[in-house]
Chains A and B, each alone.
Chain A
Amino acid sequence: MDTFILLFDGLGTAMQPMNLMFALLGVMLGTAVGVMPGIGPALTVALLLPVSLSFGATGSMIMFAGIYYGGMYGGAISSILLNTPGETASIMTALEGNRMAKRGRGGKALGAAAFGSFFGGMFATLGLAIVAPFMVMVALSFGTAEYFALMVLSFMTVSAAFGGSMSRGLTALFIGLTIGIVGTDKLTGQVRLAFGIPEMSDNISIAIVAVGLFAIGETMYLASQHINHKTKAQAVSGSVWLNWSDFKRCIRPYIRGTGLGFLFGPLPTGGAEIPTFLSYTTEKRLATGEARREFDEGLGAIEGVAGPEAANNASAAGTLIPLLTLGLPTSATAAMMLAGFQQYGLQPGPLLFTNNAELVWGLVASLFIANLMLVVLNVPFIGIWVKLLTIPRPWLYAGILTFATLGIVGAQGSPFALVLLLGFGLVGFVMRRFGYPLAPALVGAILGPLAEEQLRRGLMINQGDWWFLLNSNIALTIYAIALLSIFGPRLWSFTRKAIRQNKGAHS
């Protein structure tokens, strides 16, 4: 097994004290910058890449991996504690994570996220080392029909995030779809819903939508309530740390999330969104007992944090497969990694594994190390992060707003971003006040344009013939899964009930 010999060589290099230092530094910097809403791992890497360059190829690669994983985890921290998912990968984390934080279980949520990231990253990286060539074939066999089917599957399962009311969930979804069409249509260059404002002729950044709807909308909602905010909030109830029973609840979501992330990571559908959505909805559907109650009553279920966090790190490792073997960046993060590789004179593509075997395995090894460092560094700090919540509320919320506006304005470079942020904040506030769920709006804004593009590309390739959608076994299989995911549980409980009644009649 050449693969493993090379991997162990790589690990040996990465374990040198100096390189461990670089990993540590990278994780620290990445976490610190990643906490800021609107600044996700991709931008974190873009901003800090020049910093890492002065440490030589190996050192900078390790630091780069550290910054990346740190940035991912930073996003989870702000999602869980502040309910401000600044990037798409951690939207699903915010749903249950923030509910947990509000009930004093923020520490556990952070722990579940840290171990989930570790678990997902570790096993998916291992998977990367073993099945990369096979996964590439899968990715290449996906055309527009298969991608469109995948979008349909995601849309069908999103109803799990609807909460109590179907009509309000759908309304939120359609508001999101509307946000998704704003900007230049990629296939024709037609500008849609921009009202002549140049800043709106680009597609609206999902970071602005997410921070506006969640963070700004939420603070507006809180400010609109007659509560004395100066009373001390309960930051921690019970232990901050995960105990064995928490951990047991996380294991299955970790495994499922890792599987989903690793499967979907290599597909050019934009990265971590679809696997995190699917992971969340899977956990919500499968929940029983205590977890079922926590999901249903909005108490915050740890499974809803564990699954998506494992999925997003696993998908990050999955993203590396087409990147390394084809030079095909499937997400913003992967595009940044590509830029990173080029700095070391690495040209990702079919020849990379033969021409630069040492560097590739060095990179894979540094991913392992950075992943490990993330847990080592961040788990002891969870107690400190949670203390954030003990800052007097008025200043805490004011601080969240300052961070949110800084992240958005810094990344966009224009005050107009703030106007949009205020607009989405108001929309989020109204939705919150009238019991509309927020997550479907984001799902719509992300998936809507992807689905439209794939459909229209497919129609262009097939010159207007709609049958191409069904002319693929992979697509048909995905449609079957979609139908099963909706009607399956009901059919199952229906048959179970019928059997029970049948038995009752006989006895």
Chain B
Amino acid sequence: MNKLGIAAFAAASLLASFASAQVSELRIMAPAGPGGGWDQTARTIQSTLQSEGLVANIQVENVAGAGGTIGLQQFVNRSSGDPTATIVGGYVMVGAIIANDSNVTLNDITPLARLTGEYVVVVAAADSPINNADDLANALRENIGGVTWAGGSAGGVDHIAAGLFAQTADVSPEEINYIPYAGGGEALAAILGGQVTVGVSGFSEFSSQIEAGALKVIGITAAERQNYLDAPTFAEQGYDVDVQNWRMIAAAPGISDDERAALLDVIETMAASDTWNAELTTKGWVNTFLAGDEFAAYLDEQIIATTAILGDLGITE
């Protein structure tokens, strides 16, 4: 787009901003390096808002480090009361704040909406003797250390899902033999090679192996059956494990209710747009949109539940 175009566009949107769900300027902080999940989320929001004509001028800023807590800290310190400042974040942040004992928390920002989510699946190699959640629970009760779990980082969403399953199977989450890998992709080799008992990670990490029949699904951590996966949820099998690795967008602390409402309006329009949903499909993300007060309540619940399970896992005291 040329400069003239941008200028004309900015002027037009400035005029129109009084009319409908439009904001003239927005800054999105991605509290992670370029290329990662939060960065991609921020840049997808940027391109959607621009192509839908909802916001004229949007910039993405990356501040990497410590599970997003460095970016969060900077965001709270610098952007307080600024209605054009937003930050992308997610479930990982909840754990990182607790584990790092961060002095800034998610209570210090103004939550807007949960945008996407990914459920966690527990899988086993196709020739594994474990076929369902009951088999896994029995194996755990028999020899908890002999069941090895390969998944993402310690205290991350995969570890939490494994711990919650252990709880519902009446074994101590702290005693599970959970082996962290850099990500579900790296764990994949260990699972396919039969070096570990089960793998636990986000669905997209395993989807192509599941489709090819190299991995079988023991369960997915969704409350209801998902149309993209022909496998039972843990809840169906009597193990109430409901976890999703969600991503959200939030605004700065200290903004007025009107400013918050205006931002929410823009985000809601974006989440309902075809452009946004088409982007999510190509990226393999699931739209689990939840906005406003409902999301704020959900966030509080998540913080309490995560604090409890991280303690049970022995990550925090």
Chain A positions within 8 Å of B, measured between CB atoms, are: 42-43, 46-47, 50, 139-144, 186-189, 191, 198-199, 201-202, 268, 322, 326-330, 335-336, 338-339, 342-343, 345, 347-352, 411-414, 457, 460-461, 463
Complex Cα spacing A414 to B209, Å: 39
6 nearest interchain CB pairs? Answer: A349-B208, A46-B35, A350-B212, A189-B154, A140-B193, A413-B63
B66 to A268, Cβ gap below 8 A? no
Nearest to A42 among chain B residues (CB) is B35
Do residues B64 and A463 form an inter-chain contact, with CB atoms below 8 A?
A: no
Does B244 lie at the interface of the complex (its beta carbon under 8 Å from any beta carbon of A)?
Answer: no
23 contacts between A and B (CB under 8 A): A46-B34, A50-B43, A141-B193, A142-B193, A144-B195, A187-B154, A189-B99, A189-B315, A198-B66, A198-B73, A201-B65, A326-B189, A335-B35, A339-B35, A349-B211, A350-B208, A413-B71, A414-B65, A460-B177, A461-B179, A461-B195, A463-B146, A463-B177
Knowing that A43-B34, A186-B154 touch, tell me 18 more A-B residue pairs with CB under 8 angstroms.
A42-B35, A140-B189, A142-B193, A144-B195, A186-B153, A189-B315, A191-B100, A198-B100, A198-B102, A199-B66, A201-B66, A268-B189, A350-B208, A351-B211, A351-B212, A460-B177, A463-B146, A463-B177
* A3, B290: Cα distance in complex, Å: 48
Whether B69 and A349, one on each chain, are in contact in the complex, defined by CB atoms closer than 8 angstroms, is no
Do A268 and B180 touch across chains, with their CB atoms under 8 A apart? no
In contact, B208 and A345 (Cβ under 8 angstroms): no
Contact between B189 and A328, CB atoms less than 8 A apart: yes
Residues of the B chain whose Cβ atoms lie less than 8 Å from the Cβ of A186: 153-154, 180, 182
Q: Is the CB of A143 within 8 A of B190?
A: yes
Residues of B within 8 A of A348 (CB): 208
Contacts of B185 on A, CB cut-off 8 Å?
Answer: 327-329, 335, 338
Contact A413 B61, beta carbon cutoff 8 Å: yes
- B43 — nearest CB in chain A belongs to which residue? A50
Q: Give the residues from 204 to 224 in chain B that come closer than 8 angstroms, CB to CB, to chain A.
A: 205, 207-209, 211-212, 214
Given the complex, which residues of B lie within 8 Å of A352, measured CB to CB? 208
**Is B192 an interface position by the 8 A CB rule?**
yes
With A187-B180, A189-B153 already in contact, the answer to whether A349 and B34 are too (CB < 8 A) is no
Q: How far is the CB of A264 from chain B (nearest CB, A)?
A: 15
Residue B33 at the chain A interface, CB threshold 8 Å: yes
Residue numbers of B with Cβ under 8 A of A are 33-35, 40, 43, 47, 61-66, 69-71, 73, 99-100, 102, 145-146, 148, 153-155, 177, 179-182, 185-186, 188-190, 192-193, 195-196, 205, 207-209, 211-212, 214, 282-284, 315
Given contacts A140-B193, A339-B35, A347-B208, contact A268 B100 (CB under 8 A): no
- State the Cβ distance, B163 to closest chain A Cβ, in Å: 13
Check B209 against A326 for contact (C-beta < 8 Å): yes
- Selected from A322, A339, A350, the residue in CB contact (under 8 A) with B209 is A350
Residues of A within 8 Å of B71, CB to CB, are 413
Residues on B with beta carbons closer than 8 Å to the beta carbon of A345: 282
Residue of A nearest to B152 (CB): A186
Q: Which of chain A's residues have a CB closer than 8 A to the CB of B209? A: 326-327, 349-350
**For the complex, what is the distance from the CA of A342 to the CA of B40, rounded to whole Å?**
12
Cross-chain contact A268 with B195 (CB below 8 angstroms): no
Chain A residues with CB under 8 Å of B188's CB are 326-328
A-chain residues with CB within 8 Å of residue B153 when the two chains form the complex: 186, 189
Given A187-B180, A202-B65, A326–B192 Cβ distance below 8 Å?
yes
Residue of A nearest to B193 (CB): A140
Give the residues in chain B near A335, CB-CB below 8 Å: 35, 185
Q: Is the CB of A336 within 8 A of B180?
A: no
Asked whether B208 lies within 8 Å of A412 as measured between CB atoms, the reply is no
CA distance A143 to B148 in the complex (A): 14
In the complex formed, the residue of A with least CB distance to B197 is A461
Which chain A residues lie closer than 8 Å to B69 at the CB level? Answer: 198
Question: Is A347 within 8 A of B65, CB to CB?
Answer: no
The smallest beta-carbon distance between B100 and chain A, in angstroms, is: 6
Q: In the docked arrangement, what's the CA distance between A198 and B212, Å? A: 42
The verdict on A457 contacting B35 (CB below 8 Å), with A201-B100, A328-B189 known, is no
Residues of chain B lying within 8 A (CB to CB) of residue A143: 190, 193, 195
Closest to A201 in B: B66
In whole angstroms, what is the CA distance A326 to B208 when docked? 8
B70–A198 CB distance below 8 A: yes
In the complex, the answer to whether B182 meets A350 with C-beta atoms within 8 Å is: no
With a CB–CB cut-off of 8 A, which chain B residues contact A327?
185, 188, 205, 208-209
Chain A residues, CB < 8 A from B61: 413
A186-B182, A348-B208 known; A412 vs B64 contact (CB < 8 Å): yes
Chain A residues, Cβ within 8 Å of B181: 457
Once the chains bind, are B196 and A461 in contact (CB under 8 Å)? yes
Minimal beta-carbon separation of B214 from chain A (angstroms):
6
- The complex places the Cα of A35 from the Cα of B61 at a distance, in Å, of 23
Inter-chain contact B146/A413, CB cutoff 8 Å:
no
Q: A186-B182, A268-B189, A349-B208 given as contacts; is B34 within 8 A of A343 (CB)?
A: no
Q: By the criterion CB–CB under 8 Å, are B154 and A188 in contact? A: yes
Measured CA separation A144–B70 after assembly (Å): 33
Q: How far is the CA of A139 from the CA of B185 in the complex (A)?
A: 13
> Judging by beta carbons under 8 Å apart, are A343 and B282 in contact?
yes
Least distance between A99 CB and chain B CB atoms (Å): 33
Known: A42-B35, A326-B188, A460-B177. A414 touches B212 (CB 8 A): no
Interchain CB contact under 8 A, B212 and A140: no
Q: CB distance A342 to B63 under 8 Å?
A: no
CA distance A461 to B180 in the complex (A): 11
Neighbour of B33 across the interface among A141, A322, A411, CB < 8 A: A411
Residue ID in chain B nearest A464 by CB atoms: B145
Report yes or no: B70 in contact with A328, Cβ–Cβ below 8 A. Answer: no
State A189–B98 Cα separation when bound (angstroms): 12
Residues from chain B with Cβ under 8 Å of A141 in the complex:
193
Chain A residues near B34 (CB-CB < 8 A):
43, 46-47, 411
Which residues on B sit within 8 Å (CB–CB) of A343? 282
Give min CB distance, B266 to chain A, whole Å.
22
Identity of the chain A residue whose Cβ is nearest the Cβ of B207 in the assembled complex:
A347
A461 to B190, CA, bound (A): 10
Q: Which residue of B lies closest to A330 (CB)?
A: B186
Which residue of the partner chain, among B64, B190, B211, contacts A413 with CB atoms under 8 Å?
A: B64
Cβ of B146 and Cβ of A342 under 8 Å apart? no
Q: Which A residue's beta carbon lies closest to that of B33?
A: A411
Q: Which residues of B contact A144 (CB under 8 A)?
A: 195
A321 to B164, CA, bound (A): 35
- Are A351 and B208 neighbours in the complex by a CB distance under 8 Å? yes
Specify which chain B residues have a CB less than 8 angstroms from the CB of A329 in the assembled complex: 185-186
Q: In the complex the two chains form, is B214's CB within 8 Å of A350's CB?
A: yes
CA distance A350 to B182 in the complex (A): 22
**Bound Cα distance from A198 to B66, whole angstroms:** 6
